[in-house]
Structure 1
Amino acid sequence: MKLCITSTGNTLESTFEQRFGRCPYFIIYDTDSKEFDAIENTNGDSAHGAGIGSAQEVVSKNIDVVISGNMGPNAKQVLDGENIKVYKGTGSTVLENIELFEKNELSEITQAGKPHQGM
């Protein structure tokens, strides 16, 4: 399974980022191989459509799950359309949220927050 975790940096030890569309990095983590890749979020500085652009970027990476703090309605709609589940991260680092997910201790986000919630 491939996870996408919002992050402030490019390592598993980086601080977890609560914002989805404007996070600095996405960490793509494979739960089978335990390997990861860090992708800079080029949509974070967009004047408009950061959530949609970020969601489309994530979709292009063939991920199964997103772990983030906040999820706007447009980004959630894109992810829902691709059957990608979204979970609310509660850990302070990327790695901590991966571990919490693997222990089934994160809650699924079934309803998006307000637009521009992360700004």
Structure 2
Amino acid sequence: MKIAICSKGNTLDAEVDPRFGRCKYFLIVDTESRQVEVVDNSENLNRAGGAGIQSAELISSSGAEALLTGHCGPNAFTTLNAAGLRVFTGIEGSASEAIDQFNRGDLKAMSAPDVEGHW
């Protein structure tokens, strides 16, 4: 299964970014092989508005089935949900640790955004 992780760096050792729309990188990871595709999100990092929606569209086109992030606002959540992605928030630590938590079933998919827009 492919998952997307919001990351402050471009490796699995990097810390999970608490921001979704304005995270520095998305790591698209195969949860079994741990093969990583790095997606640079710098275009949305400095976007004045709509970063969450643009980032959600980027993730939905990556083939990921789930998103692991610190937080997710309402517009991004709606876009991700419409694309069929499960959203997991409150993720902390390294991307590698987040994958382990996901694989163990320790994470619970969200049914609503956990922050207001422009967090």
What's the TM-score, normalizing by structure 1? Answer: 0.93
Letter in 2 for 1:82: A
Letter in 1 for 2:79: V
1:107 deviates by 2.1
Superposed CA offset, 1:42-101 (max 9, x none): 211100100000001001101100000110111011111011000124331000000000
Residue pairs, 1:27-106, within 5 angstroms: 27-41=27-41, 42-106=43-107
Identity among equivalent positions (%) equals: 36
1:37 deviates by 1.1
Equivalent pair of 2:18/2:91 in contact (CA under 8 Å): no
Q: Secondary structure at the match of 2:62?
A: coil
d(CA) in 1 for partners of 2:34 and 2:90?
19
The aligned length equals 117
Letter in 2 for 1:29: V
The reply on whether 1:21 has 2:21 as its aligned counterpart is: yes
The reply on whether 1:5 has 2:5 as its aligned counterpart is: yes
Which runs of 4 or more aligned residues in structure 1 lie more than 6 Å from their structure 2 counterparts after TM superposition? none
Letter in 1 for 2:70: G
Letter in 2 for 1:80: N
Q: Secondary structure at the match of 1:108?
A: coil
Residue 115 of structure 1: which of 104, 114, 117 is its match?
A: 117
Letter in 1 for 2:117: P
Equivalent pair of 2:71/2:90 in contact (CA under 8 Å): no
What's the TM-score, normalizing by structure 2? Answer: 0.93
Please list every run of 5 or more consecutive structure 1 residues that lacks an aligned counterpart in the other structure: none
d(CA) in 2 for partners of 1:7 and 1:47?
20
Equivalent pair of 1:91/1:100 in contact (CA under 8 Å): no
Structure number having the greater helix percentage: 2
d(CA) in 2 for partners of 1:53 and 1:90?
21
